[in-house]
Each structure stands twice: as structure tokens, then as C-alpha cells.
Chains A and B, each alone.
Chain A
Amino acid sequence: MFKKILIANRGEIACRVIKTARKMGIKTVAIYSDADRNALHVKMADEAVHIGPPPANESYIVIDKVMAAIKQTGAEAVHPGYGFLSENPKFADALNAAGVAFIGPPKGAIEKMGDKITSKKIAQEADVSTVPGYMGLIEDAEDAVKISNEVGYPVMIKASAGGGGKGMRIAWNDDEAREGFQSSKNEAASSFGDDRIFIEKFVTQPRHIEIQVLADGHGNAVYLHERECSIQRRNQKVIEEAPSPFLDEATRKAMGEQSVALAQAVGYTSAGTVEFIVDGDRNFYFLEMNTRLQVEHPVTELITGVDLVEQMIRVAAGEKLPFAQDDLKINGWAMESRLYAEDPYRGFLPSIGRLTRYRPPMEEATPTRAVRNDTGVFEGGEISMYYDPMIAKLCTWAPDRATAIEEMRLALDGFELEGIGHNLPFLAAVYDHPKFTSGKMTTAFIEEEYPDGFEGVTLDESACQRIAAAAAAMHRVAEIRRTRISGRMDNHERHVGDDWVVTLQGASHDVTITADRSGADVSIGGQSLRVESDWAPGDPLARLMVDGAPLVLKIGKISGGFRVRYRGADLKVHVRTPRQAELAALMPEKLPPDTSKYLLCPMPGLIVKIDVSEGDEVQEGQALCTIEAMKMENILRAERKGTVKMINAGAGDSLAVDEVIMEFE
């Protein structure tokens, strides 16, 4: 076995690999850029080597620099994580030449599976089910129309070198095929420097289901069942689970066996993933094979008990797989949520900055439940603009899907994350969505269910009552504490009453509290709810039991009550005496200031260009300016027709959130 390995990556995946290596008694080497000087993976590793400035193309993906770090530290093997150099044949070559083991597949397999057209051909030859389509390259737009008709609409026009949704178009008719071909080609040329295009059948009611495979250098290959990753936003996976709620045993077996066949056809070793698209009738079609460890691998680990990183290391060291296909059973259900530094209330725009508070739920594993959190950040750390905005991968496991989902809801409720915008409320909302809980989702779930973006959720009456009861009990405790201040007039202390009016989500609830030593019976809406908690005033997280069921609330301060965050909701909860409530009802409703006449900067970023001038008349949807944040160019568009009155910023300006970029008349 290796004595020392280098992890050619950063963030959560580097930390993840270090954990397993440490467990196996292998020393670890981290590499880091200037931006990661204080990063968690650097602290966790036994050694760390600085490899350059923040941009990945000047540090993490510069092969020479990584090779120098290997040489300097004497690492015997390299785990590439995902992204960066993980699927780079040149890196595999360089390692080979230096006599350093690559903890991943052979270079040949990377190359063969790296190209969409080649991989599809190999898959077909290995009798793997593929999407009907034209495998050859397409000459011109007319050729594209002809082929589209042969394949049959709807068709997908794709860049051969594509990924992440770039260079991809769907066409339902000849005109769209013609147009789609041209734009795909242009995008492919600019994004990948490779404008080869192909066309295939567009699958309806598609679900993204992938098979984890593992192969050793001794001819053994197994599949570790599937993961369903249909919850995607713009082709970026958001929620994954294993197994899939959609597959039956026969389909699972067929997909697994075809995946193993494909792995063997390319001489695959190590861990890999074969991605399929599955239609409403459980027809499945090969999409591509990822020749690396996937982001979402933990859900597979949770249902199989296999440490995939450990197996990758063992395979790279020449060991045999310790299990056969029959040993690999599905045990329970696992969910994974990707927490991103993306603000769901601002169209999921990236949000960078300091994590002023970061308290994930406690990790644990028991026979009936498990919580796992893979992360590369820490409280006081920075989400930098240079890398992927992923904060953490939160996983839960339980014997069945419904329980795993419930565990996830509680874990998300208890996940404290402050300082930056993040998608936690959105994730929570998905776990409460009936289409998701029933398992009837497709890859279009987010697009279809949240067509206008995410604006938070409205809680039902029962949830509101539980929160109201909890808030009243907490407020009472906080008020009693206030009466214990020094300097009181003896014998004339304030008495805190038992009757309260709780207002949230625009409705008022009359509440009466009967408190005892261990909690309170709260009567609300004709019923009595038992509230118990060890919450103390000032705690930002309240873990309560309300009528025997856990209720976890994030608590903030507002005048006369609490800001409560729960599931996908962000509420102002006021707790008042009946008289206070009566007087508060007389207060005028104030509307938030009208900002429709302003274009506000939606995220901290740099203005790349302003597309309009003062006095211009703009149409709805017209591009107004481009802002760069996290290396992404975001085009801000006019929400309605109007005339530009004044422009307050220019190219090169660095703006904060909500700074006024321009005003309209």
C-alpha cells in the first residue's frame, strides 16, 4: 500500500479523500493556491504545497506545478478528486512517466469516454442502449435538418465536446433545427474550441439515473447500483438520491450489467459512473461515462457501505476488489443536498464572501439513521470567487425514502449558515414538494415547478400553529428573563402573562400558555400543543419538541418577536399581549420602497460593460449591463419597457449588492 498520496484538488473532495487516506494510515499531501492558504483541506493534510495564484488555470490544473509538488513531497500516488485534472489524459501520462500511480482509470479509458461521439460508438458496440441519433459529424444546417427528420423530432443538438448545458439546443421543427445547429456550433467553438456537433433523439419525461461501477486491475468489475440525479438546475445537479424511486429490479439489473459491460469494454479500472437518461416507460439510454469519482458518490456509499475512495486507492495499489456483485445489496435510502452559495431569492446568483456562521448538523450514523456532511469550509472561512460555489454536501440515510427525506428536512432546518446567500431554503422547499416526495420527478422538475424562480414558500396552517406555539413559549421565557433585571422596585415586579397573540404569514393566532417545569402546554386554535425545549434567549437555533415531533427553527432578532427560518420559509413572527396586538393592528401597513425604477446590482461584482446610454429607450428583456461575479458573466436585463434616466456606474466599477446601477424614468 502507498505510504503517501497527494490530492490534486481542493475543497470538500480533497477533505473527503484525506479522511479515507488517514483511516487507511496513508500520509496525505494537499496542494493549495493563494486563495486557499487557510483552507480546510490544507489544515487536514499532513503536508501542503503552495502551487500558485488563485485562478485554477494558474494553479490546480497546471500539470507541471502538480508534478513538482509530487516530486517535492515524494508522494507515491495521486487522487485527482473530480473536475480539475481528474479526466485529463495528459496528467495521467505525466504521472505515468514519473512512475507515480494515478488513483483513477487508465489513460485509455479516460480518452475513450472523454469524447461524446467515440464513447457512444463504444457503448453501442458493447450492446449498451443508446439514444437514437446520428453519430457522424454534421456538415451544415441543411444536413442538420435532414438528419433531424430521420431521427424524428424532438431532437437534441449537442456539441461533441460539450458539457454543463453549453452548446446544447432542443429542436421541435426544421426551423429550430437550423437555428439550433448554428448557435450550438458557435457556442461550442467559443466554449470548447471544438465545434463538432451531433444530433440525437430528445427524450421526453427524462430522468437522470446513473450507475456506479468499480473495477480492479484483475478483470473484476461490479456495479454499486444507481443514483437518481433528476433534480437539476440548468444541468447542475442539486439533489441526488440512491436508490432511484423509479427503477424496478429488472431495469436496475439491466442498467448495471450494461454499465459493467461498458467498463470492461474500455479496460476500465477504479470507480466510474455510467450516466443514463431514462424515459417515462423506463427505457434507458446511455449518455456518457464519467471516468472519475462523482460529486454525489456519498449516497452510494451510504446504501452499500462501500468506501469508494478506499476502493479506488486499493485498486490503484493493485489490490483485488474484496466483494463480488452478489455481495452488493441496497441497504436503505440516502439523500444528498448540495448546498451552494447561490441566492435563491435573487435568481440563484452566486454569492461570495465570508461565512460568518457555519454550523452543520452533527454527523452521526446509527442503524436507523445517518447524517453525513462533506465540506471544505469552516466558520470564518471564505467562499471565494475563483472556484465552485459549493459549500457542502449534506447527506441523510434512513431505512426508507420517506424517513430519509424527513431526516433531511430536519438536518436542513438545523444547518446554520450565515454571511452569504445560499440555496438552503430552496432545497428545503423541494423536500416538501409533493412531486418530489412522491418520487415522480423528471429532470425538468425545477424548471416546471419554479418557472419564475424561487420566492420562498407559504407554510400550511398546521405548521404555522406549531411555530406560533413554539414562538409564544420562547417569547414568554425571554420576557420572564427581562423581568429579572437588577434595580427593580421590590415587590412591584412585572408579571408576565399567559395570553399572547402570535402573528405570522399575515394571520393572528390567539395563544394561552400553561407552563410547568419541563415545558408548556400551549392552547391554540382549539387544540393544545405540548412544547418542550432547552432553548434559551439568544440561541440562534431552537430545537423543540412540539406535540412529540421535533421542530427545529432558526431564530433571529426582530422588534417584538422573532425572525424564524423553517423549511423554505423566512418569517417575521410577532408575539404580543392581546392589548399590544390590538394596538399593533392600528399601525399602517408600509409597503417596501419602490425600486422598480432602479436597476440594482444583484450581487457583489465587477461591471464588465454597460450596454445602454442615458436617454435610451429599452424594451423588456433587453440587455442593460454585464456583471462579472465568480468568473461568471451575468447579463442584467430590463424587466419592463422604459427610458434610461441616469447611469450611476461604469465598466470596471466594483459594486456591492443593491447598489444602483441605473435609474429609469
Chain B
Amino acid sequence: MDVLQELETRREAARLGGGEKRIAAQHSKGKLTARERIELLLDDGSFEEFDMFVAHRCTDFGMEKDRPAGDGVVTGWGTINGRLVYVFAQDFTVMGGSVSETHGQKICKIMDMAVQNGAPIIGINDSGGARIQEGVASLAAYGEIFQRNITASGVVPQISLIMGPCAGGAVYSPAMTDFIFMVKDSSYMFVTGPDVVKTVTNEHVTAEELGGAGTHTKKSSVADGAFENDVEALAEARRLIDFLPLNNRQKAPVRPFFDDVNRVEESLDTLVPDNPNMPYDMKELITKLADEGDFYEIQEEFAKNILTGFIRMEGSTVGVVANQPMVLAGCLDIDASRKAARFVRFCDAFEIPLLTLVDVPGFLPGTSQEYAGVIKHGAKLLYAYGEATVPKVTVITRKAYGGAYVVMASKHLAGDFNYAWPTSEIAVMGAKGATEIIHRADLNDPEKLAQHTQDYEDRFANPFVAAEKGVIDEVIMPHSTRKRVCRAFASLRTKQVTTPWKKHDNIPL
């Protein structure tokens, strides 16, 4: 009886974390507690906790007098819509969620389990940082977590939810996970905080400006999305998990869908405007191709000239990369290349087929791009597409110019299906620029130049030259694109590719 009594008492104490007062403080900041967050993240009643009674072993600075059960992190596993996931949630009410040796060990334990059993790891970060009293033991804990992040990378999906502070070395664990989501106004991430920044550089900056959700989703691209509050962030994390395979040996999940595979969208026939210089919204195409118009966008607020995210076709996940003509004419630049490259590599690592929608006038010119290394960054996207062995379907809607054409999942980078709309123009560059080079002698004769431009347009402002050479598999009508793409992916379900042995590649980082 005594043991049962003690078990109950200990459990109660553990569940209370840092106590009612600290829970109230956490709530007053608009934040939920670690356990509440796990409750919202997982299916009702599915959470099974590990290491509830683990306590730290530090004896310095009087720490031995305060050994709360769980040591500032709640770990375990459960299900999301019936599918296995592993989770850890740092508990800010217990010693500020600071990372001790044992805290780290708890996280490592479930990470090891996740890799062994092939299930995603979801980390909820809300921590003041290292437990300073423990010194190097705390840093070691971080190091152990980092190593596991790296081992797990490409094996199981890793998702980080930043729901409070995440500063200093702690940022590098989320940084190595596949997706980072933040909560607006109550989370921040930085390597050095505002105080240090002020001392060292004399810059005055708030925590929110330095590392808030806005900063990381719009400027730094560290985070992949930002949500209004904890409840929304956790609901959207569930939604993301529904798109992802549990590990790299599984196909992406399939779920029942209520959409017509053969759905015809007549309105797509007028999506591309008559005037080649007029923009249009590529998101309309994505949502009209997707099952039920559902598009889970990744990095929506960053490098808006390229769109990345997940849709479903016939109920199974497809990763979409699309140039967005509404922003910077849809050109590729450093940010767009980095954003899309990382997304493509994630999809390839986890067997998620890739759909690429192309309307690209080229790479953004200028010293700022060249000095910042657009060559290497642009190469990342080229490389990512070229090494990807997942099913690759590409649809050119309008412009596909120059090197950017090759980069955007062209036939030459082992594209499986390369379709073009009748409005597509596949050429080295726009007609005007091309003419000025080919017919340099006539530069001072506007009439002749206009004629040359017209000739060039007649020759290349259509998909037929490319189709004649077989680099476009077929010219398809916009209204039947959904059906054609669905069929293409269906035919690629058994795709197999062998590549030469290598230890690993050497992507231009």
C-alpha cells in the first residue's frame, strides 16, 4: 500500500511541475505548460511518459536541496491521428526549463527510441538555457542532443516548436531539425541576447526584434512558420505530421480524399495573362491542383518569389516548389535558392514526390547577389534537384529562361515528367535581350531590331522547340493539369533509381 501511495504522491508532484504559482505565471504570459502542450499535440489519452521521476544529480551551490521530479522536461511518446511520434517538451516552470545533464539524457533517450523505431521527433522548446550550476555537464548534454539531431537527420522527421526562450547554444538543436515553428510574441531564438549585443556592438534591440517569430520567418529564414498562439501552433504541427512519412524507409502517408482525380479546371486556361509582363498568382495553380485545395506552405513569409510546401494528390503527399511571378517576377535569387533547395532535399530524404511549377525569367542580377555568392547558393538548388531520386514532375506554365530553366527540375536533371503549357517559352533569355546579342550589328536600327525580336519570339516563345528536342515530354492544357500530374505520379509509384556508391555528397554549402 505504501508504495502505491507513494507512486500516486510522486506522480501528482511530477504532474504539478514547478507548482501552481509558476503554472499561473506561465499562463499569464499566454503560454501553456509542457504537459498541456503535449495534451494538445497528441491524440487524447495517447501520451505515455518516460522518466517522470528523473531528478538531477548536481550537488553544487545547494542544488541537492531542490530536485524536482522530471528535471524540467517532459518526455515520452504517443500518437497523432493514430501514428507514432516521440515528443519532448521543456517545462519552463521547473528551473526555467534549463538543460542539465539528466534533462539532456531524457531527451536523448526518446531520440534514440525514435530512430530505432522509425518515428518522428517533436521537440517543444521553452528553456532559459544551460543549467549554469552544472557547468560543463550541461554543455555536454547539449552536445549529446546535437549529435542525435545529426544522426536522426534524414532518418526520421524532426520538428521543433519554439514556444518560449531558446537562446545561446540551445538554438543549434532546433537549427538542425527539419522544421522550426515559432509562436508570435512569446518565443524568441538567438545566439547572443540583446544585453550582450548592446555591450559588444552598441546596438539597441529588443528580444522580439532580435529573434522573434517575425524576424526568423521574414528576415533570417531560421523558422519555417509562425503561429498566433500555442493552441494554433500545436494544431498546425499535427497537420504537418499528417503530411510526413514516419521515417525514411516509408512512403509518405495516404489518407482518404474527397476530390476528383480527373477534376477539370477550365479557369486555369486563363491563369497566364496575355501580356507576358503581367504577373499572376501561382498559389491559385497550386490550390487548384491540390486535393481539396489544401496547401501547407513552408516559409510563407520568406523569399516570396518561390513557393514551397505540401499538398496531396490522390490522398498522398507531394512537395511543391513553384516560382511566384507576383514577387520579383518569380526570379531565382540567393534566398529563393536556399529556401527551395532545403525543401527539395527534405522531400528527397523522406521519399516525398516533387512537383515543380516553373515560371522563371532567370537569376536576379546585381552586385549584391554576386558578392553574396549567388553562384554557390544557386548551385544548391541545382544540386538538390539533380541528386533527388524521388518522382519528379515539372510543369512549365510560362517563362523558363536560361540557367534558371535548367535548375527548375528540368529534364536534364532527371525530371521524370516534364510538361509545358501552350503559353510556355523555353529559351536562353527573353527575346529582346537575345536579339540584342545575336544582332549586335543592328543595335542602332530599331526597326530591324524589332523585326529580329519578333522573329526570336516566333521561334522560341512557345514550347515547340523544346518539345521537338524531347526536353519537354508533352504540351498539356492547363485545364487538364491536375489529371495529368496525378497520373504521372501514379505511374511513378514504383520508381527505382540506383546511384553510384559514395560516402556522402559534397553539396555546395
Q: Which A residues have a C-beta under 8 Å from some C-beta of B?
A: 37-38, 354-358, 378-382, 481-489, 492-495, 497, 536-540, 557, 559-560, 577, 579-580, 583-584, 586-588, 590
Residues of chain A lying within 8 A (CB to CB) of residue B257: 538
Assess the A487–B83 pair: CB atoms within 8 A: yes
**The residue from B43, B231, B284 contacting A494, defined by CB atoms under 8 A apart:** B43
Whether, in the assembled complex, B294 has its beta carbon less than 8 Å from a beta carbon of chain A, the answer is yes
> Which of A484, A486, A495 has the most B CB atoms < 10 Å from its CB?
A486
Contact with A along B198-223 (1 / 0, CB 8 A): 00000000000000000000000000
Residue contact A580 to B231, C-beta cutoff 8 Å:
yes
Looking at B27, B258, B281, which has the most chain A CB atoms within 10 Å of its CB?
A: B258
**Partner of B39 from A487, A495, A579 at Cβ < 8 Å:** A579
**In the complex, what's the smallest C-beta–C-beta distance from A347 to chain B, in angstroms?**
25
Q: Which of B182-202 contact A (CB under 8 A)?
A: 184-185
User: Which chain B residues (317-356) contact chain A, with CB distance < 8 Å?
Assistant: none
* Contact between A484 and B284, CB atoms less than 8 A apart: no
Contact digits for B207-246, partner A, Cβ 8 Å, 1 yes 0 no: 0000000000000000000011111100110010010011
Q: Given the known A-B contacts A38-B270, A494-B79, are A587 and B292 also in contact in the complex, defined by CB atoms under 8 Å? A: no
B268-311 contacts to A (CB < 8 Å): 268-271, 274, 280-281, 284, 291-294
Given contacts A579-B39, A580-B40, A587-B30, contact A486 B235 (CB under 8 A): no
Which range holds the interface residue count of chain B?
A: 35 or more
B: residues with CB less than 8 A from A are: 27, 30, 32, 36, 39-40, 43-44, 46, 79, 81-84, 184-185, 227-232, 235-236, 239, 242, 245-246, 250, 253-259, 266-271, 274, 280-281, 284, 291-294
Given the complex, which residues of B lie within 8 Å of A557, measured CB to CB? 293-294
Q: Do B284 and A356 have beta carbons less than 8 Å apart?
A: yes
Which residues of chain B come closer than 8 Å to A559, judged between CB atoms? 227, 232, 235-236, 239
A-B contact pairs, 29 of them (CB 8 A): A37-B274, A354-B281, A356-B281, A379-B266, A380-B266, A380-B267, A380-B269, A380-B271, A485-B81, A485-B242, A485-B253, A486-B253, A486-B255, A492-B82, A494-B44, A494-B79, A494-B82, A537-B292, A538-B259, A560-B235, A579-B44, A580-B40, A583-B36, A584-B231, A587-B30, A587-B228, A588-B229, A590-B184, A590-B228
Q: Which 7 A-B pairs have the closest CB atoms?
A: A538-B292, A380-B267, A488-B82, A536-B258, A588-B30, A485-B255, A494-B43
B305 → chain A closest CB, angstroms: 16
A484 in complex: contacting residue of B27, B32, B255, B270, CB < 8 Å: B255
**Roughly how many angstroms separate A583 CA and B163 CA in the complex, as a whole number?**
15
Structural contact, B258 and A538, CB atoms closer than 8 A: yes
Q: Are B40 and A583 in contact (CB under 8 A)?
A: yes
Q: Which residues of B contact A356 (CB under 8 A)?
A: 267, 281, 284
Chain A contacts for B79, CB-based, 8 A:
488-489, 492, 494
Name the residue of chain B whose CB is nearest to the CB of A580: B40
Interchain nearest-CB distance for A561 vs B (Å) = 9
Contact A488 B81 (CB under 8 A): yes
Determine the distance from Cα of A118 to Cα of B369 in the docked complex, in whole angstroms: 71
Chain B residue with the shortest CB-CB distance to A584: B231
Task: Indicate if the CB atoms of A489 and B83 lie closer than 8 Å.
Answer: yes
- From A381, A482, A495, contact of B242 by CB (8 A): A482
Q: How far is the CB of B36 from chain A (nearest CB, A)?
A: 6
Known: A488-B82, A494-B81, A557-B294. Is A590-B185 also a contact (CB below 8 A)?
yes
Contact: B44 with A497, CB < 8 Å?
yes
Q: Report Cα–Cα, A483/B81, bound state, in Å.
A: 5
Q: Which residue of B lies closest to A34 (CB)?
A: B274
Complex alpha-carbon distance, A497 and B43, angstroms: 11
B256 CB contacts on chain A under 8 angstroms: 481, 484
Contact A583 B231, beta carbon cutoff 8 Å: yes
With contacts A37-B274, A494-B44, A579-B39 known, is A489 near B231, CB below 8 A?
no
CA gap between A586 and B27 in the complex, in Å: 7
Beyond contacts A487-B246, A488-B79: 15 other A-B pairs, Cβ-Cβ < 8 A, are A354-B280, A356-B281, A380-B267, A483-B81, A485-B83, A485-B254, A486-B254, A487-B83, A487-B245, A497-B44, A538-B292, A559-B236, A560-B232, A587-B30, A588-B30
A539/B81 in contact, CB under 8 A:
no
Q: How far is the CB of A169 from chain B (nearest CB, A)?
A: 42
Contact of A587 among B84, B230, B239 (CB under 8 A): B230
Instruction: Report the Cα distance A37→B83, complex, angstroms.
Output: 53
The contact of A485 among B82, B231, B232, B266, by CB within 8 Å, is B82
Across the interface, which residues of A come within 8 angstroms of B185, CB to CB? 588, 590
Q: Is the CB of B84 within 8 A of A538?
A: no
Interchain CB contact under 8 A, A379 and B230:
no
> Contact between A489 and B284 (Cβ–Cβ < 8 Å)?
no
User: Once the chains bind, are A379 and B254 in contact (CB under 8 Å)?
Assistant: no
Least distance between A179 CB and chain B CB atoms (Å): 46
The closest CB in chain B to the CB of A539 belongs to: B258
Chain B residues with CB under 8 Å of A579's CB are 39, 44
Contacts A381-B270, A487-B245, A540-B293; is A482 near B231 (CB within 8 Å)?
Answer: no
Chain B residues with CB under 8 Å of A577's CB are 44
Residue of B nearest to A353 (CB): B281
Query: Closest residue of chain A to B290, judged by CB?
Result: A538
Which chain B residue lies CB-closest to A588? B30
Chain A neighbourhood of B271, CB < 8 A: 380
List, in ascending order, chain A residues with CB within 8 A of B44's CB.
494-495, 497, 577, 579
B240, chain A: closest CB distance, angstroms:
12
Provide the bound-state CA to CA distance between A497 and B45, in Å. 12
Min CB gap B286→A, angstroms: 12
Give chain A residues whose Cβ lies under 8 Å from the Cβ of B227. 559
Residues of B within 8 A of A482 (CB): 81, 242, 255
User: CB within 8 A of A586: which of B32, B228, B246, B274?
Assistant: B32
| Shortest Cβ distance from A656 into B: residue | B326
Cβ contacts under 8 Å, B253 to chain A: 485-487
